[in-house]
Structure 1
Amino acid sequence: MQEALKHLVVLAQTLGKPFNVQGIPQPLALRPDDVALEDLEKLLPAPTRIRQRLTLLDVPSFVDYVTRFASPATAIFCNGPNGRTFQARFDYHTPEAAAWGDHTATYSCPLTVEWGNWKEMDRKRLPQADFAQFIEDNVKDIVQNEDDKNAPSAADMLEISRTLQAQKNITFRQGTRLDNGQVQLTYNEQIDGSAGATGQLNIPELFYIGIKPFLGGDAFLISARFRYRIAEGRLSMWYELVRPDKVLEEAYGAVRKQIHGAIGDIPLYEASI
């Protein structure tokens, strides 16, 4: 009973005055008005630990920041090509002790404007004038592939989008009398197209774009299928990116390799962030 009274007396004497508790680096105080515990760390010359959640916009900045603040307690987590996020936790748990994890740096592989432009219009059927306008606005991204001699240049692709003329031909192949007396007709539908002032340009099956999926990352060669159709007398045109998911997967792998090669012995884990 006497020990308990002594503790109460000590606490009463600390009302409104700073005091320290073993294991807690910042001073504390009991407010006399409501006897609530108040943290006085804000009155110290410097914080007792770093509390910072920073977002970096490119790989070099992320690597520089990580190497600047890394310690034996630092760990980096990344969540694969779908999440495309790398997060460094500088005060992470160790086998010896738990930690608050208040200091983090995150890089989320921001997508480029060019990738967004091409991905947004992927597989969208457009009137010829609209498609030609899109190609003109993004013609700088169209490149030639040395391995595909039939691939159009940027200038050719622009000319094709502007001058393509298509004609639909339907030819019946046969008529078959069925058991119920009805007649079934089968036919071939063929769309012939030509482009250029005198129809001298070949209509490509594929064309190629060369862009960086991630801001500050590597550029990739991306295949796109060129498509056009006639419906109700109107010509529509579009393109289909070939496995854009694999492009992002490769781009993520390149970023992961770059970060892993630059952080030295800091552990890097694939995890859900």
Structure 2
Amino acid sequence: MINLQKEENTMQNNEANLPKQSLDAAIEAARLADPVIGGDDGRQHAFVPDGFTLKDISDPNILPEHISQTVVVDDRDSLTNYVNRFSDGRSILIADYDAGLIRAHLDWHTDNSTEMTRQHASHTATLKLRNSEEYDRWNKMEGEMHSQEEFALFIEENVSDISDPDHSVMLEICRDLEATQDVSFKSGIRLENGDRTFVYEDETKVKGDMIVPTEIGLSIPVYRGEEPVDIRAKFRFRPTASGLQLGFRWHRVEYMRQATFNAMAQQTAENTGRPYYFGRTS
């Protein structure tokens, strides 16, 4: 009697579970009937047996739906050519003076004149500005005082960069500097034209003077690949017991660097037809 009762209870429990089992079976059948699920990014996954886990069955050779590329170019012409090849209505230029770069975001977001849509913004071309060789040579000497021999040698090697005074004047100054290495400088007098005359005396007490300008003008490019610009520098002189010390300091060179950078950004925008903004992206 007890066994009959147990069998009856078991049958009742099984009948009670039939709706759930039927639902589970229906869900599994639906998964197997259409096991492939596509994602918004183009990837596909499929349900497989053994717990119906997802397995990536995407084509490994499929091309991405957008270009993911970061290019660094060495001059402004290369940036212009690259932008002209790949740009469209979304493309913009960002000029960051602090970082010293002009970056083209080729797949930037669309503007609000049409329906604004989110873009991947992962295709960029960047011009990383580098100082010109001429600027680096002069900048290495700037701000320090140098011996007559060292300074004269530097001027002779780089006299072609000097626009004011004339080359012949600077070469004559170099010869005078070399000829007066073993004399004692006594005083300096500023002339009406702004130049400076130094009185010197050799061991035999023979006196002479040497005239040098207080300012020189350079015509050199600030950035590599760009045209020369005019830069001014102030001569510095320091008579000492062991000889004359010479040097120079830039005069408002940072303003010239900023002006050159701004002109480069504007010219790139004109050559590519793309809008430009001064700032940075995060």
What TM-score do you get using the length of structure 2 for normalisation? 0.70
Alignment of 1:1-273 (within 5 A): 2=23, 6=27, 10=31, 19=36, 21-27=38-44, 38=56, 40=58, 42-44=60-62, 46-80=63-97, 82-94=98-110, 96-144=116-164, 151=165, 153-164=166-177, 165=180, 167-169=185-187, 192-193=198-199, 202-264=211-273, 266-273=274-281
Structure 2 distance, partners of 1:28, 1:50, is: 23
CA contact (8 A) 1:31 1:38 kept: no
Q: Give 1:105 deviation, angstroms.
A: 0.4
Unaligned ranges ≥5, structure 2: 1-19, 189-195, 201-206
Structure 2 distance, partners of 1:99, 1:7, is: 38
Q: Output the amino acid matched with 1:254.
A: A
Q: Give 1:86 deviation, angstroms.
A: 1.1
Cα 1:232–1:68, aligned 2, differ >3 Å: closer, same or farther?
A: same
1:178 match: none
Structure 1 distance, partners of 2:141, 2:252, is: 15
Cα 1:212–1:11, aligned 2, differ >3 Å: closer, same or farther?
A: farther
Cα 1:50–1:255, aligned 2, differ >3 Å: closer, same or farther?
A: same
CA contact (8 A) 2:31 2:47 kept: no
Structure 2 distance, partners of 1:135, 1:213, is: 19
Task: Please give the secondary structure, in 2, of the residue aligned with 1:192.
Answer: strand
Q: Give 1:109 deviation, angstroms.
A: 2.4
Q: Give 1:239 deviation, angstroms.
A: 1.1
Cα 1:233–1:37, aligned 2, differ >3 Å: closer, same or farther?
A: farther
Deviates more, 1:238-247 or 1:226-235: 226-235
Task: Please give the secondary structure, in 2, of the residue aligned with 1:83.
Answer: coil
Which gives a bigger RCO, structure 1 or 2 (Cα 8 Å, sep 6+)?
1
Cα 1:207–1:199, aligned 2, differ >3 Å: closer, same or farther?
A: farther
Structure 2 distance, partners of 1:48, 1:127, is: 64
What TM-score do you get using the length of structure 1 for normalisation? 0.72
Structure 1 distance, partners of 2:93, 2:222, is: 23
Larger Rg: 2
Q: Output the amino acid matched with 1:268.
A: Y
Cα 1:39–1:252, aligned 2, differ >3 Å: closer, same or farther?
A: farther
Q: Deviations over 1:167-208 (max 9, x none)?
A: 2249xxxxxxxxxxxxxxxxxxx98247xxx96863111111
CA contact (8 A) 2:198 2:210 kept: no
2:204 match: none
Structure with greater helix share of residues: 2
1:173 match: none
CA contact (8 A) 2:265 2:276 kept: no
Task: Please give the secondary structure, in 2, of the residue aligned with 1:223.
Answer: strand
Q: Output the amino acid matched with 2:266.
A: K
Identity %: 25
Task: Please give the secondary structure, in 2, of the residue aligned with 1:261.
Answer: helix
